Structure 1
C-alpha cells in the first residue's frame, strides 16, 4: 500500500501546489525525485510538530518514513522567494525552522500561526504583506516559456538563478523528466514519451529518468508500492 497523498493546485501566483500525506504501516521508505521548486513542509511525528524549508532537488534520494507520521507542504511557484533565505543556498538541502510548537512557527524572527492544507493561501498572503515572501514575475514568465523583453540572456539567467536556485536549463531538464514519469505512470509507451517531450531518442529518455527520477521507464510503469515516489503531478505549463 502506497503513502496516502492528496494535492491541489492554487490560484495564488506564489504557489505551485499544496499537498498533504499520511504514512501507512507497510511503507518505511519514500523515493524523493528531483524537483525544481522549493517548498515549506510541516510534519507531525510521534506527537511532535516539525517545519522545514526544503530547497530544489537536483537528484533523487531515499528518505525514511515513519508510518504514524503525517505531513503537509506548500510548493512555491518559480519566481517566488524569501530574500532572507536565498533559494540558491537551499539547493539539495532542507533547513529546519526553529521554535516550532503545535500551533506556531518562527520565521525571520517573527511568530506565525502554522499553515494548513486548507489555509495555505492565507498564510502565504500574510508572508507577502510582511515582505517575507516576494516574487519576480519575469522569472515566472520565462520559466513558463515566455520571452523576456528588453533583457539580455545573461540578465535573465541571473534573475532565474537568484529566484529559483537553478539555471533555466536545469529547470527544463528536471520538469521534462517529471512529466515523463507522469506519462509513463499513466501507461504511455516510452517511444511516445520521447516524441511528446522532445527527447532525442529512448536512450536519452532513459538517462534523464535515471539522473532525475532514479528509476527506469519499466520501474515507473510498474512502481514498487513498498517505496513510493514523492509527489508527481501534471504541470499547468
Structure 2
C-alpha cells in the first residue's frame, strides 16, 4: 500500500533518472523540491495521460491518482525542450493532450511512448530532431568548474537553462542528498560534516524548506502515511 517507486540512474548527458511507480491506497504525497523536470506518463481509472512536470523550488503537497501506474524520465539539469523553456515550467507543468498508450504529441509530431529500457534512445531521437537541447555550461558550473565566459554571462546562461540561480540549485541538490543519506541511516551530525552545513539547525532549516521532513523523521519513518516524491542521489 502507498506509492511504490523504483528507478535507475542514467549515464546519458540528457537523462538524469528513469523511474516508474504505482499508487495504491494513497491520494496525496509530499512533493520535494527538485531542480529537474520530468516527462511523465501514467494510466489510471480515467485513462492514459502524459505531462511535462517542471522543477519545484519548495516542498508542497500534491494529489496522487488512485490505482495508477506511472513511468517517467527525469532530464538532466541544463536540458530543455525547445518549445518549453524551463523557466516557464518552474513550480508548474503542462499536461499533453490526446496522449495514448502508443503515442503523444510533441512539437508538431506524434512520438511513440517510450519505456524504461529505451529512455536514452528516446532522448537521443529528441536531440536529433531538435526538440531537446542542452547547455553544457550548467554541468560544468555544478561540478565547480570555471566556464570560459564572464561570471555574469555564466549566471545568465545557467538561469536561462535551469530556471534557477547556481546558488539556489546547489541548495536544493544538497538538501536532496542530505535526505537520501538520512533515509539510508546516516546521522544528522554525519550529514552536516559530509555536505558542509554550518550546523544541525542549518541542516534542519534546509530539510524543512526543501524536503518537508526533519532529520529525525527521515531516519525513523522511511515509509510515512503521506509518501515523498522521487528522491535519489544526484
Scaled by the length of structure 1, the TM-score of the pair is 0.94
Contact 2:32 2:60 in 1 (8 A): yes
Rounded to whole Å, the distance in 1 between the matches of 2:153 and 2:133 is 19
Corresponding residue number in structure 2 for 1:201: 199
Contact 1:28 1:226 in 2 (8 A): no
Corresponding residue number in structure 2 for 1:98: 97
Superposition pairs of residues 63-212 of structure 1, within 5 angstroms: 63-149=62-148, 151-212=149-210
> Per the alignment, in what secondary structure is the counterpart of residue 37 of structure 1?
coil
Contact 2:34 2:55 in 1 (8 A): yes
Aligned residues: 233
Pairing 1:52–2:51 present: yes
5+ long unaligned stretches in structure 2: none
Contact 2:5 2:20 in 1 (8 A): yes
Rounded to whole Å, the distance in 1 between the matches of 2:194 and 2:179 is 13
Scaled by the length of structure 2, the TM-score of the pair is 0.95
Contact 2:44 2:66 in 1 (8 A): no
Residues 98-127 of structure 1: CA deviation (Å, up to 9, x unaligned): 221221110112111111111111211111
Using the TM superposition, give the Cα deviation of residue 21 of structure 1 relative to its aligned residue in structure 2, in angstroms: 0.3
Rounded to whole Å, the distance in 1 between the matches of 2:31 and 2:180 is 14
Using the TM superposition, give the Cα deviation of residue 15 of structure 1 relative to its aligned residue in structure 2, in angstroms: 0.3
Distance change >3 Å, CA 131–CA 49, structure 1 → 2: same
Corresponding residue number in structure 2 for 1:3: 3
Using the TM superposition, give the Cα deviation of residue 47 of structure 1 relative to its aligned residue in structure 2, in angstroms: 5.3
Rounded to whole Å, the distance in 1 between the matches of 2:208 and 2:153 is 32
Rounded to whole Å, the distance in 2 between the matches of 1:95 and 1:86 is 12
Contact 1:29 1:226 in 2 (8 A): no
Which range moves more in the overlay, 159-168 or 61-70?
A: 61-70
Rounded to whole Å, the distance in 1 between the matches of 2:198 and 2:209 is 16
Corresponding residue number in structure 1 for 2:14: 14
Q: How much is the aligned-residue C-alpha RMSD, in angstroms? A: 1.3
Using the TM superposition, give the Cα deviation of residue 4 of structure 1 relative to its aligned residue in structure 2, in angstroms: 1.7
Rounded to whole Å, the distance in 2 between the matches of 1:9 and 1:134 is 20
Using the TM superposition, give the Cα deviation of residue 24 of structure 1 relative to its aligned residue in structure 2, in angstroms: 2.0
Residues 1-23 of structure 1: CA deviation (Å, up to 9, x unaligned): 44221101112110001000011
* Runs of 4+ with deviation above 4 angstroms: none
Rounded to whole Å, the distance in 1 between the matches of 2:61 and 2:143 is 29
> Per the alignment, in what secondary structure is the counterpart of residue 84 of structure 1?
coil
Pairing 1:61–2:57 present: no
Rounded to whole Å, the distance in 2 between the matches of 1:2 and 1:191 is 30
5+ long unaligned stretches in structure 1: none
> Per the alignment, in what secondary structure is the counterpart of residue 206 of structure 1?
helix
